[in-house]
Amino acid sequence: EEQSQPAQGDPYSGDPPRHPALKVNSLKPFNAEPPAELLTENYLTPSQLFFKRNHLPVPAVDPASYRLEVEGPGGRTLSLSLPELKSRFPKHEVTATLQCAGNRRSEMNHVRPVKGLEWGIAAISTARWGGARLRDILAYAGYGGEETGEWHVCFEGLDKDLSGSAYGASIPYGKAMACEGDVLLAYEMNGEELPRDHGYPVRVVVPGVVGARNVKWLSRVLVSREESPSHWQQNDYKGFSPSVDWDTVDFTTAPAIQELPIQSAITDPPPSATVPPGELTIKGYAWSGGGRGVIRVDVSLDGGRTWHVAEMAGEEQPPGRAWAWRLWQLTAPVPTGSTELDIVCKAVDTSYNVQPDTVEPIWNLRGVLSNAWHRVHITVAQD
């Protein structure tokens, strides 16, 4: 068997070492984000600093015995070794941002307590991914005929809980099979083999879709009329009205999160910074799900009364396939006489969707989809 976890004792004792700069939200399972200021120093996040979101212990996978199982139509099962996966299908590369559904959850927690890890603004990162296209593998397995967008492609990971139950998720079949969907079974991240924390040896990368569907340590792929039966597909990673609480929630009433809404945040200056009078440079990121590009970022120094348009850096991507974030910055004069600044950012995507003004009305019991205007309050040093 390819998975060897410690037979006894701490199931997390086999986890890999991590970069000391990461801000840890949970050690077991390991969940951590980079310092926000470091996040926007690079368009491609260095893999060691890329946010880590593990639901379970990191499996130790032997690449020699690793097999990916792909269930074909009629129950025929394909079993692919790592060399087969790499040689039989053309390598495809995609620059894509992944964002945790819980990114910026801490802002919801300040409104009313939510259930989940206390993520700041950095549960989002961007990498260059390389691997086989999922559609090529599914076509090789025999798919491509009569199945429709209402089918689902289900994934299982090698990460398991103590009962032996694996992490799982699914995406719509249409997304998996679309030429322009760019879904990968990735074995490379930023030009190197996948790090263990990011799914070594093979993970799913579903550009434009919430992190939770980008299953790591992939063991099994199957096409189904139903979404993945996993806890994370059925009873988690869904959005609800602020009026719904844990006594009234019915998880069957909301769709599993797939594409994410427009998002942006300020990474620099950090909250509570003191800046000199004169000119101020503000930096951040902006991203939208579903391949929708970011067309504009508005920044305010006065809490949202007046706005400046930020400059955007980063690669332009094709229409409908803007999978990666845009980094932005604004250099503006600090209004003379001001002692404090309430900096705000909000982004607009190619469908002209915008971020909501405030957190309260999008609050939800699980603390997901936190994409209100981001605010940073700073002090201006007096001469």
Q: Based on CB atoms, which residue is closest to a copy of itself, 80 or 206?
A: 206
Q: Which residue has the tokens 């910055």?
A: 329
Using CB under 8 A, which residues numbered 224 to 253 contact a copy of itself?
239, 241-244
Q: Based on CB atoms, which residue is closest to a copy of itself, 21 or 309?
A: 309
260 binds, among a copy of itself, Mo ion, none (CB under 5 to 8 A by kind): a copy of itself
Checking 59-64 for CB contacts under 8 A at 24+ apart, the result is 59/3, 59/5, 59/157, 59/158, 59/159, 59/160, 59/217, 60/3, 60/4, 60/5, 60/14, 60/196, 61/2, 61/3, 61/158, 61/200, 61/201, 61/217, 62/2, 62/4, 63/201
Eight-state DSSP code of residue 361: G
211 binds, among a copy of itself, Mo ion, none (CB under 5 to 8 A by kind): Mo ion
Residue 290's contacts (CB-CB under 8 Å, 6 or more residues apart) are: 208, 209, 259, 260
Contact string (CB under 8 A) for a copy of itself, positions 251-270, x = contact: ---xx-xxxxxx--------
Which three-class secondary structure state does DSSP give residue 304? coil
Residue of 307, 329, 332, 342 that binds a copy of itself (CB under 8 A): 307
Q: Based on CB atoms, which residue is closest to a copy of itself, 6 or 319?
A: 319
Q: What token pair was written down for 374?
A: 């981001």
Please tell me whether residue 180 binds a copy of itself under the rule CB under 8 A: yes
Residue of 18, 81, 356, 379 that binds a copy of itself (CB under 8 A): 356
- Residue 293: strand pairing partners: none
Residues at the interface with Mo ion (CB under 5 A): 53, 100-101, 211-212
Number of residues forming the site for a copy of itself (CB under 8 A): 46
Q: What is the per-residue burial (b if ≥16 Cβ within 10 Å, else e) of 293-307?
A: bbbbbbbbbeebeeb
Beta strands in 51-90, from DSSP E residues, in sequence order: 52-53, 67-71, 77-81
Task: For strands 374-380 and 274-275, give the pairing.
Answer: parallel
Contact string (CB under 8 A) for a copy of itself, positions 156-175, x = contact: ----------------x-x-
307 binds, among Mo ion, a copy of itself, none (CB under 5 to 8 A by kind): a copy of itself
132 binds, among Mo ion, a copy of itself, none (CB under 5 to 8 A by kind): none
Please tell me whether residue 304 binds a copy of itself under the rule CB under 8 A: yes
In angstroms, the CA 108 to CA 112 distance is 7
Task: For strands 374-380 and 340-349, give the pairing.
Answer: antiparallel
Contact string (CB under 8 A) for a copy of itself, positions 181-210, x = contact: ------------------------------
Residue of 52, 53, 283, 346 that binds a copy of itself (CB under 8 A): 346
Residue 139's contacts (CB-CB under 8 Å, 6 or more residues apart) are: none
Q: Based on CB atoms, which residue is closest to Mo ion, 100 or 286?
A: 100
| Contact present, 223 and 171 (Cβ < 8 Å) | no
Question: Which stretches of the chain bind a copy of itself, using CB under 8 A?
Answer: 148-150, 172, 174, 180, 239, 241-244, 254-255, 257-262, 289-290, 295-296, 298, 304, 306-309, 318-320, 346, 348, 350-358, 361-362, 369
